[in-house]
Structure 1
Amino acid sequence: MITVEGVTRVRGRTRILHEVGFTARPGRVTGFLGPNGAGKTSTLRVLLGLDRPQAGRALIDGRRYAELERPLTVAGALLDGSGAHRSRTARAHLRWVAASNGLPKGRVDEVLELVGLSADAGKRAGRYSLGMSRRLGLATALLGDPPVLILDEPVNGLDPAGIRWMRTFLRERADQGRTVLLSSHLMGELAETADDVVIIDQGRVVSAGTLAEVVGDHPTLEDAFLARTASRGAAW
Protein backbone atom coordinates (compact mmCIF):
# COMPACT_ATOMS: atom_id res chain seq x y z
CA MET A 1 0.00 0.00 0.00
CA ILE A 2 1.09 3.58 -0.68
CA THR A 3 0.32 6.30 1.83
CA VAL A 4 1.01 9.99 1.16
CA GLU A 5 0.32 12.26 4.12
CA GLY A 6 0.45 16.05 4.12
CA VAL A 7 3.37 16.32 1.70
CA THR A 8 4.53 19.88 1.11
CA ARG A 9 7.40 20.60 -1.26
CA VAL A 10 9.01 23.98 -1.85
CA ARG A 11 11.49 24.77 -4.61
CA GLY A 12 13.15 28.13 -4.15
CA ARG A 13 10.30 30.51 -3.39
CA THR A 14 7.70 28.37 -5.13
CA ARG A 15 5.50 25.94 -3.26
CA ILE A 16 4.92 23.13 -5.73
CA LEU A 17 3.07 20.69 -3.42
CA HIS A 18 0.54 21.79 -0.79
CA GLU A 19 -0.22 19.15 1.88
CA VAL A 20 -0.79 16.42 -0.70
CA GLY A 21 -2.40 13.30 0.73
CA PHE A 22 -3.96 10.12 -0.64
CA THR A 23 -3.80 6.32 -0.39
CA ALA A 24 -3.25 3.70 -3.11
CA ARG A 25 -4.51 0.30 -2.00
CA PRO A 26 -3.56 -3.28 -2.93
CA GLY A 27 -5.64 -4.94 -5.62
CA ARG A 28 -6.53 -1.65 -7.25
CA VAL A 29 -5.24 0.68 -9.95
CA THR A 30 -5.07 4.21 -8.58
CA GLY A 31 -5.00 6.91 -11.24
CA PHE A 32 -3.13 10.09 -10.34
CA LEU A 33 -4.63 12.66 -12.68
CA GLY A 34 -3.70 16.23 -13.47
CA PRO A 35 -2.47 18.54 -16.23
CA ASN A 36 1.21 18.94 -16.96
CA GLY A 37 2.83 20.86 -14.11
CA ALA A 38 0.12 19.95 -11.59
CA GLY A 39 2.55 18.18 -9.23
CA LYS A 40 2.21 14.52 -10.24
CA THR A 41 5.88 13.83 -10.91
CA SER A 42 6.97 15.94 -7.93
CA THR A 43 4.80 13.78 -5.66
CA LEU A 44 6.21 10.57 -7.12
CA ARG A 45 9.77 11.84 -6.69
CA VAL A 46 9.06 12.43 -3.00
CA LEU A 47 7.54 8.95 -2.73
CA LEU A 48 10.69 7.44 -4.26
CA GLY A 49 13.07 9.42 -2.07
CA LEU A 50 14.44 11.51 -4.96
CA ASP A 51 13.22 14.76 -3.40
CA ARG A 52 12.82 15.68 0.24
CA PRO A 53 9.57 17.34 1.34
CA GLN A 54 9.50 20.26 3.75
CA ALA A 55 6.56 18.63 5.53
CA GLY A 56 4.64 15.37 5.51
CA ARG A 57 5.70 11.89 4.53
CA ALA A 58 5.23 9.32 1.76
CA LEU A 59 5.35 5.62 2.65
CA ILE A 60 5.39 2.28 0.83
CA ASP A 61 4.04 -0.51 3.01
CA GLY A 62 4.63 1.75 6.02
CA ARG A 63 8.26 2.61 5.24
CA ARG A 64 10.10 5.35 3.41
CA TYR A 65 11.66 4.22 0.16
CA ALA A 66 15.16 4.91 1.51
CA GLU A 67 14.50 2.42 4.33
CA LEU A 68 13.83 -0.49 1.96
CA GLU A 69 16.71 -2.97 2.03
CA ARG A 70 16.09 -4.35 -1.47
CA PRO A 71 13.79 -1.73 -2.98
CA LEU A 72 13.15 -3.47 -6.32
CA THR A 73 11.54 -6.37 -4.49
CA VAL A 74 9.08 -4.00 -2.80
CA ALA A 75 8.36 -1.20 -5.28
CA GLY A 76 9.10 -0.94 -8.98
CA ALA A 77 9.05 2.53 -10.54
CA LEU A 78 8.94 3.99 -14.04
CA LEU A 79 9.62 7.71 -14.30
CA ASP A 80 11.17 9.58 -17.25
CA GLY A 81 12.83 7.45 -19.92
CA SER A 82 14.21 3.96 -19.46
CA GLY A 83 16.99 4.83 -17.01
CA ALA A 84 19.49 3.04 -19.26
CA HIS A 85 22.67 4.61 -20.60
CA ARG A 86 22.40 5.12 -24.35
CA SER A 87 25.45 2.95 -25.05
CA ARG A 88 24.23 -0.05 -23.04
CA THR A 89 22.08 -2.79 -24.47
CA ALA A 90 18.77 -3.48 -22.80
CA ARG A 91 19.98 -6.84 -21.52
CA ALA A 92 23.21 -5.38 -20.10
CA HIS A 93 21.28 -2.61 -18.36
CA LEU A 94 18.84 -5.03 -16.78
CA ARG A 95 21.60 -7.38 -15.66
CA TRP A 96 23.39 -4.48 -13.95
CA VAL A 97 20.19 -3.40 -12.16
CA ALA A 98 19.39 -6.99 -11.17
CA ALA A 99 22.88 -7.45 -9.67
CA SER A 100 22.47 -4.26 -7.62
CA ASN A 101 19.49 -5.82 -5.84
CA GLY A 102 20.78 -9.37 -5.64
CA LEU A 103 18.32 -10.67 -8.22
CA PRO A 104 19.02 -13.73 -10.41
CA LYS A 105 20.21 -13.19 -14.01
CA GLY A 106 17.40 -15.41 -15.25
CA ARG A 107 14.90 -12.77 -14.23
CA VAL A 108 16.27 -10.46 -16.94
CA ASP A 109 15.07 -12.63 -19.82
CA GLU A 110 11.74 -13.14 -18.06
CA VAL A 111 10.96 -9.42 -17.90
CA LEU A 112 12.23 -8.81 -21.44
CA GLU A 113 9.74 -11.42 -22.63
CA LEU A 114 7.02 -9.96 -20.44
CA VAL A 115 7.29 -6.48 -21.98
CA GLY A 116 7.87 -7.68 -25.53
CA LEU A 117 11.54 -6.73 -25.92
CA SER A 118 13.19 -10.14 -26.25
CA ALA A 119 13.95 -9.62 -29.95
CA ASP A 120 15.57 -6.24 -29.25
CA ALA A 121 17.42 -7.13 -26.06
CA GLY A 122 20.81 -6.78 -27.77
CA LYS A 123 20.07 -3.34 -29.18
CA ARG A 124 21.63 -0.29 -27.53
CA ALA A 125 19.16 1.82 -25.54
CA GLY A 126 20.09 4.92 -27.54
CA ARG A 127 18.54 3.31 -30.62
CA TYR A 128 15.24 2.59 -28.94
CA SER A 129 12.08 4.45 -29.90
CA LEU A 130 10.18 6.29 -27.18
CA GLY A 131 7.72 3.42 -26.88
CA MET A 132 10.50 0.84 -26.60
CA SER A 133 12.20 2.97 -23.95
CA ARG A 134 8.98 2.97 -21.93
CA ARG A 135 8.85 -0.82 -22.18
CA LEU A 136 12.48 -1.07 -21.03
CA GLY A 137 11.70 1.18 -18.08
CA LEU A 138 8.76 -1.05 -17.20
CA ALA A 139 10.99 -4.13 -17.47
CA THR A 140 13.36 -2.52 -14.96
CA ALA A 141 10.47 -1.83 -12.59
CA LEU A 142 9.37 -5.46 -12.81
CA LEU A 143 12.76 -7.07 -12.13
CA GLY A 144 12.10 -7.72 -8.45
CA ASP A 145 8.50 -8.88 -9.02
CA PRO A 146 7.39 -6.14 -6.59
CA PRO A 147 3.97 -5.91 -4.93
CA VAL A 148 3.89 -2.16 -5.67
CA LEU A 149 4.20 -0.45 -9.06
CA ILE A 150 4.66 3.32 -9.43
CA LEU A 151 4.35 4.49 -13.04
CA ASP A 152 4.60 8.07 -14.34
CA GLU A 153 2.83 8.54 -17.70
CA PRO A 154 3.52 4.92 -18.76
CA VAL A 155 1.62 5.08 -22.07
CA ASN A 156 3.65 8.00 -23.45
CA GLY A 157 5.12 6.97 -26.78
CA LEU A 158 3.07 3.78 -27.08
CA ASP A 159 0.99 3.09 -30.18
CA PRO A 160 -2.68 2.08 -29.79
CA ALA A 161 -1.77 -1.61 -29.55
CA GLY A 162 0.83 -0.79 -26.90
CA ILE A 163 -1.70 1.23 -24.92
CA ARG A 164 -4.15 -1.66 -24.95
CA TRP A 165 -1.37 -4.00 -23.84
CA MET A 166 -0.39 -1.67 -21.00
CA ARG A 167 -4.00 -1.35 -19.85
CA THR A 168 -4.44 -5.14 -19.76
CA PHE A 169 -1.09 -5.65 -18.06
CA LEU A 170 -1.84 -3.18 -15.24
CA ARG A 171 -5.28 -4.68 -14.72
CA GLU A 172 -3.73 -8.12 -14.37
CA ARG A 173 -1.19 -6.87 -11.84
CA ALA A 174 -3.92 -5.29 -9.72
CA ASP A 175 -6.05 -8.43 -9.96
CA GLN A 176 -3.10 -10.33 -8.46
CA GLY A 177 -3.44 -8.15 -5.36
CA ARG A 178 -0.69 -5.68 -6.18
CA THR A 179 -0.79 -1.92 -5.68
CA VAL A 180 -0.62 0.07 -8.93
CA LEU A 181 -0.21 3.86 -8.86
CA LEU A 182 -0.45 5.33 -12.34
CA SER A 183 -0.02 9.03 -13.13
CA SER A 184 -1.41 10.50 -16.33
CA HIS A 185 -2.78 13.64 -17.93
CA LEU A 186 -4.91 11.49 -20.27
CA MET A 187 -8.35 11.39 -18.71
CA GLY A 188 -9.85 8.98 -21.21
CA GLU A 189 -7.07 6.48 -20.58
CA LEU A 190 -7.49 6.65 -16.81
CA ALA A 191 -11.23 6.22 -17.12
CA GLU A 192 -10.54 2.92 -18.93
CA THR A 193 -7.96 1.72 -16.41
CA ALA A 194 -8.34 3.09 -12.88
CA ASP A 195 -10.41 1.82 -9.97
CA ASP A 196 -9.63 4.89 -7.86
CA VAL A 197 -8.75 8.42 -8.94
CA VAL A 198 -6.81 11.23 -7.29
CA ILE A 199 -7.04 14.61 -9.03
CA ILE A 200 -4.22 17.09 -8.39
CA ASP A 201 -4.18 20.67 -9.64
CA GLN A 202 -1.64 23.41 -8.88
CA GLY A 203 -0.01 21.20 -6.28
CA ARG A 204 -3.17 20.40 -4.32
CA VAL A 205 -5.40 17.32 -4.27
CA VAL A 206 -8.83 18.56 -5.29
CA SER A 207 -10.69 15.23 -5.41
CA ALA A 208 -10.06 11.60 -4.46
CA GLY A 209 -12.16 8.46 -4.33
CA THR A 210 -13.36 5.60 -6.47
CA LEU A 211 -13.80 6.38 -10.16
CA ALA A 212 -17.57 6.41 -9.67
CA GLU A 213 -17.31 8.77 -6.69
CA VAL A 214 -15.04 11.21 -8.50
CA VAL A 215 -17.15 11.24 -11.67
CA GLY A 216 -20.35 11.60 -9.62
CA ASP A 217 -23.22 13.04 -11.65
CA HIS A 218 -20.92 14.22 -14.45
CA PRO A 219 -21.07 12.45 -17.83
CA THR A 220 -17.32 11.77 -17.98
CA LEU A 221 -14.15 11.97 -15.92
CA GLU A 222 -13.11 14.97 -18.02
CA ASP A 223 -16.29 16.81 -17.05
CA ALA A 224 -15.69 15.96 -13.40
CA PHE A 225 -12.15 17.24 -13.61
CA LEU A 226 -13.19 20.51 -15.22
CA ALA A 227 -15.92 21.03 -12.63
CA ARG A 228 -13.48 20.54 -9.75
CA THR A 229 -10.76 22.78 -11.19
CA ALA A 230 -12.75 25.50 -12.97
CA SER A 231 -12.68 27.81 -9.98
CA ARG A 232 -8.89 27.47 -9.87
CA GLY A 233 -8.47 28.56 -13.48
CA ALA A 234 -6.85 25.33 -14.61
CA ALA A 235 -5.73 25.18 -18.23
CA TRP A 236 -6.00 21.76 -19.82
Structure 2
Amino acid sequence: MISIDQVSKHKGRARILHEVSFEARPGRVTGFLGPNGAGKTSTLRVLLGLDRPRSGTALIDGRPYAAWNRPLTVAGALLDGSGAHRARTARAHLRWVAASNGLPRTRVEEVLDLVGLTADAGKRAGKFSLGMSRRLGLATALLGDPPVLVLDEPVNGLDPAGIRWMRTFLRDSADQGRTVLLSSHLMGELAEIADDVVIIDRGRVVARGTLDEVTGGHPTLEDAFLALTAAGQPW
Protein backbone atom coordinates (compact mmCIF):
# COMPACT_ATOMS: atom_id res chain seq x y z
CA MET A 1 0.00 0.00 0.00
CA ILE A 2 1.14 3.54 -0.77
CA SER A 3 0.24 6.38 1.57
CA ILE A 4 1.07 9.99 0.74
CA ASP A 5 0.06 12.45 3.43
CA GLN A 6 0.24 16.26 3.28
CA VAL A 7 3.38 16.32 1.11
CA SER A 8 4.64 19.79 0.22
CA LYS A 9 7.75 20.57 -1.79
CA HIS A 10 9.44 23.78 -2.85
CA LYS A 11 12.16 24.59 -5.36
CA GLY A 12 13.65 27.81 -4.17
CA ARG A 13 10.67 30.05 -3.57
CA ALA A 14 8.47 28.20 -6.03
CA ARG A 15 5.94 25.80 -4.57
CA ILE A 16 5.99 22.53 -6.52
CA LEU A 17 3.64 20.45 -4.34
CA HIS A 18 1.05 21.69 -1.86
CA GLU A 19 -0.20 19.26 0.80
CA VAL A 20 -0.61 16.36 -1.62
CA SER A 21 -2.48 13.44 -0.02
CA PHE A 22 -3.82 10.17 -1.42
CA GLU A 23 -3.55 6.38 -1.11
CA ALA A 24 -2.97 3.58 -3.59
CA ARG A 25 -4.30 0.24 -2.40
CA PRO A 26 -3.48 -3.43 -3.13
CA GLY A 27 -5.40 -5.08 -5.92
CA ARG A 28 -6.16 -1.77 -7.63
CA VAL A 29 -4.71 0.40 -10.36
CA THR A 30 -4.52 3.99 -9.14
CA GLY A 31 -4.23 6.49 -11.97
CA PHE A 32 -2.32 9.67 -11.12
CA LEU A 33 -3.50 12.17 -13.70
CA GLY A 34 -2.42 15.67 -14.61
CA PRO A 35 -0.89 17.74 -17.38
CA ASN A 36 2.85 17.96 -17.83
CA GLY A 37 4.29 20.06 -15.00
CA ALA A 38 1.37 19.39 -12.65
CA GLY A 39 3.55 17.69 -10.03
CA LYS A 40 3.18 13.99 -10.85
CA THR A 41 6.86 13.16 -11.22
CA SER A 42 7.80 15.35 -8.25
CA THR A 43 5.35 13.40 -6.08
CA LEU A 44 6.74 10.06 -7.23
CA ARG A 45 10.32 11.21 -6.64
CA VAL A 46 9.41 12.09 -3.06
CA LEU A 47 7.75 8.68 -2.65
CA LEU A 48 10.90 6.93 -3.85
CA GLY A 49 13.24 8.97 -1.66
CA LEU A 50 14.86 10.79 -4.60
CA ASP A 51 13.68 14.20 -3.37
CA ARG A 52 12.95 15.46 0.12
CA PRO A 53 9.65 17.14 0.86
CA ARG A 54 9.44 20.28 2.94
CA SER A 55 6.71 18.58 4.96
CA GLY A 56 4.52 15.50 4.97
CA THR A 57 5.21 11.79 4.57
CA ALA A 58 5.29 9.33 1.68
CA LEU A 59 5.27 5.68 2.75
CA ILE A 60 5.24 2.25 1.14
CA ASP A 61 3.76 -0.39 3.43
CA GLY A 62 4.18 1.95 6.37
CA ARG A 63 7.84 2.85 5.84
CA PRO A 64 9.85 5.24 3.68
CA TYR A 65 11.17 3.51 0.58
CA ALA A 66 14.77 4.20 1.61
CA ALA A 67 14.22 2.42 4.93
CA TRP A 68 13.72 -0.97 3.28
CA ASN A 69 16.80 -3.22 3.23
CA ARG A 70 16.04 -4.77 -0.18
CA PRO A 71 13.80 -2.13 -1.76
CA LEU A 72 13.35 -3.92 -5.08
CA THR A 73 11.47 -6.68 -3.28
CA VAL A 74 9.06 -4.09 -1.84
CA ALA A 75 8.44 -1.67 -4.72
CA GLY A 76 9.50 -1.55 -8.33
CA ALA A 77 9.69 1.84 -10.01
CA LEU A 78 9.84 3.10 -13.57
CA LEU A 79 10.58 6.79 -13.95
CA ASP A 80 12.25 8.56 -16.88
CA GLY A 81 14.23 6.22 -19.15
CA SER A 82 15.55 2.77 -18.32
CA GLY A 83 18.16 3.83 -15.74
CA ALA A 84 20.79 1.84 -17.63
CA HIS A 85 24.19 3.20 -18.64
CA ARG A 86 24.29 3.61 -22.42
CA ALA A 87 27.33 1.35 -22.72
CA ARG A 88 25.82 -1.55 -20.78
CA THR A 89 23.80 -4.29 -22.40
CA ALA A 90 20.30 -4.86 -21.12
CA ARG A 91 21.33 -8.18 -19.56
CA ALA A 92 24.41 -6.68 -17.86
CA HIS A 93 22.34 -3.83 -16.46
CA LEU A 94 19.75 -6.18 -15.01
CA ARG A 95 22.39 -8.49 -13.56
CA TRP A 96 24.05 -5.54 -11.82
CA VAL A 97 20.76 -4.33 -10.36
CA ALA A 98 19.78 -7.86 -9.31
CA ALA A 99 23.11 -8.30 -7.50
CA SER A 100 22.56 -5.05 -5.59
CA ASN A 101 19.45 -6.55 -3.98
CA GLY A 102 20.67 -10.13 -3.62
CA LEU A 103 18.44 -11.45 -6.40
CA PRO A 104 19.35 -14.53 -8.45
CA ARG A 105 20.57 -14.25 -12.05
CA THR A 106 17.75 -16.54 -13.12
CA ARG A 107 15.35 -13.72 -12.36
CA VAL A 108 17.09 -11.57 -15.00
CA GLU A 109 16.17 -14.01 -17.75
CA GLU A 110 12.62 -14.24 -16.43
CA VAL A 111 11.98 -10.50 -16.59
CA LEU A 112 13.66 -10.17 -19.99
CA ASP A 113 11.22 -12.75 -21.31
CA LEU A 114 8.29 -11.14 -19.48
CA VAL A 115 8.80 -7.74 -21.16
CA GLY A 116 9.76 -9.16 -24.56
CA LEU A 117 13.45 -8.22 -24.57
CA THR A 118 15.13 -11.63 -24.63
CA ALA A 119 16.20 -11.25 -28.26
CA ASP A 120 17.67 -7.80 -27.56
CA ALA A 121 19.29 -8.58 -24.20
CA GLY A 122 22.79 -8.38 -25.69
CA LYS A 123 22.29 -4.91 -27.15
CA ARG A 124 23.71 -1.82 -25.49
CA ALA A 125 21.10 0.37 -23.83
CA GLY A 126 22.30 3.39 -25.80
CA LYS A 127 21.03 1.79 -29.00
CA PHE A 128 17.55 1.09 -27.65
CA SER A 129 14.51 2.90 -28.98
CA LEU A 130 12.40 4.84 -26.50
CA GLY A 131 9.89 2.00 -26.38
CA MET A 132 12.61 -0.59 -25.74
CA SER A 133 14.04 1.61 -22.99
CA ARG A 134 10.63 1.68 -21.32
CA ARG A 135 10.50 -2.11 -21.46
CA LEU A 136 13.96 -2.35 -19.93
CA GLY A 137 12.91 0.05 -17.18
CA LEU A 138 9.87 -2.11 -16.48
CA ALA A 139 12.05 -5.23 -16.40
CA THR A 140 14.23 -3.53 -13.78
CA ALA A 141 11.16 -2.64 -11.72
CA LEU A 142 9.99 -6.26 -11.80
CA LEU A 143 13.27 -7.88 -10.76
CA GLY A 144 12.31 -8.29 -7.11
CA ASP A 145 8.76 -9.45 -7.93
CA PRO A 146 7.53 -6.58 -5.74
CA PRO A 147 3.98 -6.18 -4.41
CA VAL A 148 4.03 -2.47 -5.34
CA LEU A 149 4.65 -0.90 -8.76
CA VAL A 150 5.24 2.84 -9.26
CA LEU A 151 5.23 3.80 -12.93
CA ASP A 152 5.64 7.27 -14.41
CA GLU A 153 4.17 7.56 -17.93
CA PRO A 154 4.91 3.89 -18.72
CA VAL A 155 3.35 3.89 -22.21
CA ASN A 156 5.53 6.77 -23.39
CA GLY A 157 7.30 5.69 -26.57
CA LEU A 158 5.44 2.41 -26.98
CA ASP A 159 3.79 1.49 -30.25
CA PRO A 160 0.08 0.55 -30.27
CA ALA A 161 0.86 -3.14 -29.66
CA GLY A 162 3.14 -2.17 -26.79
CA ILE A 163 0.47 0.04 -25.27
CA ARG A 164 -2.05 -2.80 -25.39
CA TRP A 165 0.50 -5.15 -23.81
CA MET A 166 1.26 -2.63 -21.04
CA ARG A 167 -2.43 -2.13 -20.27
CA THR A 168 -2.99 -5.87 -19.98
CA PHE A 169 0.12 -6.35 -17.86
CA LEU A 170 -0.80 -3.62 -15.38
CA ARG A 171 -4.40 -4.80 -15.12
CA ASP A 172 -3.23 -8.37 -14.52
CA SER A 173 -0.70 -7.15 -11.92
CA ALA A 174 -3.46 -5.46 -9.91
CA ASP A 175 -5.74 -8.47 -10.29
CA GLN A 176 -2.94 -10.57 -8.75
CA GLY A 177 -2.99 -8.31 -5.69
CA ARG A 178 -0.29 -5.78 -6.49
CA THR A 179 -0.59 -2.09 -5.71
CA VAL A 180 -0.18 -0.27 -9.03
CA LEU A 181 0.35 3.51 -9.08
CA LEU A 182 0.41 4.79 -12.65
CA SER A 183 0.95 8.40 -13.66
CA SER A 184 -0.14 9.75 -17.01
CA HIS A 185 -1.22 12.88 -18.84
CA LEU A 186 -3.21 10.68 -21.25
CA MET A 187 -6.67 10.52 -19.81
CA GLY A 188 -7.88 7.88 -22.23
CA GLU A 189 -5.17 5.48 -21.12
CA LEU A 190 -6.19 5.71 -17.47
CA ALA A 191 -9.88 5.29 -18.24
CA GLU A 192 -9.07 1.91 -19.80
CA ILE A 193 -7.55 0.33 -16.69
CA ALA A 194 -7.80 2.54 -13.58
CA ASP A 195 -9.89 1.59 -10.56
CA ASP A 196 -9.10 4.81 -8.68
CA VAL A 197 -8.06 8.22 -9.96
CA VAL A 198 -6.13 11.08 -8.39
CA ILE A 199 -6.12 14.35 -10.35
CA ILE A 200 -3.35 16.85 -9.67
CA ASP A 201 -3.12 20.36 -11.10
CA ARG A 202 -0.45 22.97 -10.30
CA GLY A 203 0.82 20.92 -7.39
CA ARG A 204 -2.56 20.39 -5.72
CA VAL A 205 -4.82 17.34 -5.67
CA VAL A 206 -8.14 18.55 -7.06
CA ALA A 207 -9.99 15.23 -7.02
CA ARG A 208 -9.55 11.66 -5.85
CA GLY A 209 -11.81 8.63 -5.68
CA THR A 210 -12.94 5.71 -7.77
CA LEU A 211 -13.10 6.24 -11.52
CA ASP A 212 -16.91 6.41 -11.33
CA GLU A 213 -16.81 8.92 -8.47
CA VAL A 214 -14.38 11.22 -10.26
CA THR A 215 -16.21 11.06 -13.58
CA GLY A 216 -19.66 11.25 -11.97
CA GLY A 217 -21.83 13.62 -13.96
CA HIS A 218 -19.27 13.85 -16.78
CA PRO A 219 -19.30 11.69 -19.91
CA THR A 220 -15.53 11.12 -19.93
CA LEU A 221 -12.50 11.39 -17.65
CA GLU A 222 -11.23 14.22 -19.84
CA ASP A 223 -14.42 16.23 -19.25
CA ALA A 224 -14.14 15.61 -15.51
CA PHE A 225 -10.52 16.74 -15.53
CA LEU A 226 -11.32 19.96 -17.39
CA ALA A 227 -14.20 20.78 -15.06
CA LEU A 228 -12.22 20.06 -11.90
CA THR A 229 -9.12 21.99 -12.89
CA ALA A 230 -11.22 24.92 -14.05
CA ALA A 231 -12.86 25.03 -10.63
CA GLY A 232 -9.60 24.56 -8.72
CA GLN A 233 -8.33 27.25 -6.36
CA PRO A 234 -5.38 29.34 -7.57
CA TRP A 235 -2.01 29.07 -5.91
Q: TM-score, normalised by structure 2?
A: 0.98
| Contiguous gaps of at least 5 residues in structure 1 | none
2:32 and 2:205 map into 1 onto residues whose CA distance is 10
- What residue number does 1:166 align with? 166
Aligned-pair distance for 1:233? 9.3
> Which whole-Å CA distance do the structure 2 matches of 1:124 and 1:228 have between them?
44
Q: Do the aligned partners of 2:206 and 2:232 also contact (CA within 8 Å) in 1?
A: no
Structure 1 segments, 4+ long, off by >3 Å, are 231-234
Q: CA deviation at 1:193?
A: 1.2
Q: CA RMSD in A?
A: 1.0
Cα deviation code 1:36-77 (max 9, x no counterpart): 000000000000000000100000000001100100000000
Q: Which residue of 1 aligns with 2:72?
A: 72
2:7 is the alignment partner of 1:7? yes
The match for 1:187 is 187
**Which residue in 2 is equivalent to 1:96?**
96
Q: Which residue of 1 aligns with 2:216?
A: 216
**Could you say which residue in structure 1 is the equivalent of 2:124?**
124
Q: Distance in 2 between matches of 1:102 and 1:144?
A: 9
3-state SS, counterpart of residue 66 of structure 1: helix
What SS does structure 1 have at the residue aligned with 2:66? helix
Partner of 2:81: 81
Percent sequence identity over aligned pairs: 82
Distance across 2 between alignment mates of 1:128 and 1:218: 40
- Aligned partners of 2:2 and 2:58 also within 8 Å: yes
Asked if 1:143 corresponds to 2:143, the answer is yes
Query: Per-residue deviation at 1:21?
Result: 0.2
For residue 149 of structure 2, what is the amino acid of its counterpart?
L
Residues 92-151 of structure 1: CA deviation (Å, up to 9, x unaligned): 000000000000000000000000000000000000000000000000000000000000
Q: How far does residue 232 in structure 1 lie from its aligned partner after superposition?
A: 4.5
The AA in structure 2 aligned to 1:10 is H
Q: Kindly provide the amino acid, as one letter, of the partner of residue 185 in structure 1.
A: H
The 2-side partners of 1:185 and 1:75 are apart by 22
Displacement of 1:231: 3.4
Separation in structure 1 between the aligned mates of residue 29 and residue 231 of structure 2, nearest angstrom:
28
Aligned to 1:199: 199
Amino acid corresponding to residue 161 of structure 1 in structure 2 = A
SS in 1 for 2:26: coil
Aligned equivalent of 1:55: 55
